């Protein structure tokens, strides 16, 4: 009930009952303690219960400043931190370079960033969400494998909790971003949708029947490791060949663009510039990356059938160089009516990834 008001409010009680399937009496019973605890408020402006007829109803709304949450996105080079309210609206943000990639260094840096962000909100902050790329066991608070940090089997929730004194939720960064979109963005009201990210890696979060899908092993949605050129495709860091990520990640694009251009010092910005200037060999690298992403998205849509797919990530800076190939490969490979699944392009800055970590913390508190 509370999550209905949180994600769709202000909303009247009859609408809550319709969405949740609860009786009117059950809704009233559930609402009362949340109002008394200061999490919900009844607005004074009434609306008619249905189409201008019937008894006036007073919408319920979240008291967004009742509690605040910290969200921290960990990258290989820096930490991005935010403070959000209950509706995941960002109230403060900060960035900090990591002092090193060891577990001890990152945990100390996270604690320092939290200490920097929280003073003015301290009495209403009890929870922090941390998002990390790789294989994350959210219930156990464990980072099982993070290739970009070089971590294996790190009890991150326990370590950050000890360093900050806060309740900690740890989640894969793409899944955390998906939660933010599910509760507060493109996914609100959708029974199923997917969020795919293009950048350092190729990730995907899945929502099915209104729930984030972790899968039996916590790696559901890893479209980056769908083989699209298995035979003679490039080797992926996971040990397989021809994965989407081995062709379309930033590292893969840069490596192949350097070879195509004969320039070992080329970086991603330089590769994009060369492609925009008409370098045919480098443009072909981006085109092949787009085809790989499109095939991976189509495979996911064929298997899961989401209502829509949100495409995001830092790699969208080059989206114009491979959008045509993404959409063409998707359209060619999607089965039947799945071809009509919309691909919604949504550029999101790093602070939105940190907001995703905070959203996971909010979710863990109210819908564990």
Which two tokens mark 241?
Answer: 């060949």
Q: Which helix (H) or strand (E) holds 298?
A: helix 280-304
Which residue stretches of 118-169 are H helix?
156-164
Q: Is 205 exposed, middle or buried (0-12, 13-18, 19+ CB in 10 A)?
A: buried
Which two tokens mark 10?
Answer: 């202000």
Pairing between strand 78-84 and 68-74?
A: antiparallel
> Is CATH 1.10.10.10 the classification given to domain 2-62?
yes
Report pLDDT for 193. Answer: 92
DSSP 47-70: EEEETTEEEEE--EEE-GGG-EEE
- Domains of the chain by residue range: 2-62, 67-179+351-366, 190-345
| Cα distance between residue 138 and residue 313, in whole Å | 22
| Cα distance between residue 10 and residue 19, in whole Å | 14
Report pLDDT for 221. Answer: 83
Q: What residues in the chain have per-residue pLDDT under 70?
A: 46-56, 230, 368
Report pLDDT for 48. Answer: 55
Report pLDDT for 50. Answer: 46
- Decide: helix, strand or coil at residue 312: strand
Report pLDDT for 14. Answer: 85
Check for a shared fold between 67-179+351-366 and 190-345.
Answer: yes
Report pLDDT for 10. Answer: 86
Report pLDDT for 46. Answer: 63
CATH topology of domain 67-179+351-366: Nucleotidyltransferase; domain 5 (3.30.420)
Report pLDDT for 129. Answer: 97
- Decide: helix, strand or coil at residue 188: coil
What's phi and psi for 52, nearest 5 deg? 80, 5
Please state which CATH number belongs to domain 190-345. Answer: 3.30.420.40
| Cα distance between residue 286 and residue 303, in whole Å | 26
């Amino acid at each position: 009930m509370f999550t209905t008001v949180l994600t769709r409010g202000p909303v009247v009680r009859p609408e809550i009952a319709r969405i949740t399937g609860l009786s009117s009496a059950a809704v009233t019973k559930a609402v009362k303690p949340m109002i008394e605890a200061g999490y919900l408020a009844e607005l004074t402006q009434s609306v008619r219960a249905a189409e201008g007829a019937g008894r006036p109803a007073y919408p319920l709304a979240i008291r967004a400043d009742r509690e605040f949450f910290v969200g921290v996105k960990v990258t290989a080079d820096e930490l991005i931190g935010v403070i959000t309210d209950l509706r995941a609206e960002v109230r403060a943000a900060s960035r900090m370079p990591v002092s090193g990639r060891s577990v001890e260094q990152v945990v100390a840096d996270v604690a320092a960033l939290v200490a920097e962000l929280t003073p003015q909100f301290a009495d209403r902050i009890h929870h922090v969400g941390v998002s990390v790329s790789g294989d994350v066991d959210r219930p156990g608070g464990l980072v099982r494998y993070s290739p970009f940090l070089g971590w294996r089997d790190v009890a991150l929730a326990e370590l950050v909790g000890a360093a900050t004194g806060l309740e900690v939720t740890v989640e894969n960064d793409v899944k955390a971003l998906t939660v933010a979109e599910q509760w507060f963005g493109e996914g609100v009201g959708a029974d199923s949708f997917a969020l795919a990210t293009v950048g350092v890696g190729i990730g995907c979060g899945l929502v099915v029947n209104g729930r984030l899908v972790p899968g039996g092993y916590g790696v559901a949605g890893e479209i980056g490791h769908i083989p699209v050129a298995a035979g003679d495709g490039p080797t992926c860091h996971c040990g397989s060949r021809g994965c989407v990520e081995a062709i379309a990640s930033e590292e893969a694009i840069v490596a192949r663009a350097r070879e195509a251009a004969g320039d070992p010092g080329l970086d991603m910005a330089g590769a994009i510039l060369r492609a925009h200037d008409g370098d045919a060999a480098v443009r072909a690298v981006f085109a092949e990356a787009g085809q790989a992403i499109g095939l991976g998205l189509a495979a996911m849509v064929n298997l899961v059938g989401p209502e829509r797919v949100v495409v995001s990530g830092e790699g969208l800076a080059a989206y114009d160089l491979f959008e045509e190939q993404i959409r063409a490969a998707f359209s060619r490979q999607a089965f039947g009516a799945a071809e009509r699944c919309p691909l919604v392009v949504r550029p999101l800055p790093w602070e939105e990834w940190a907001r995703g970590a905070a959203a996971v913390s909010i979710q863990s508190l109210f819908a564990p």
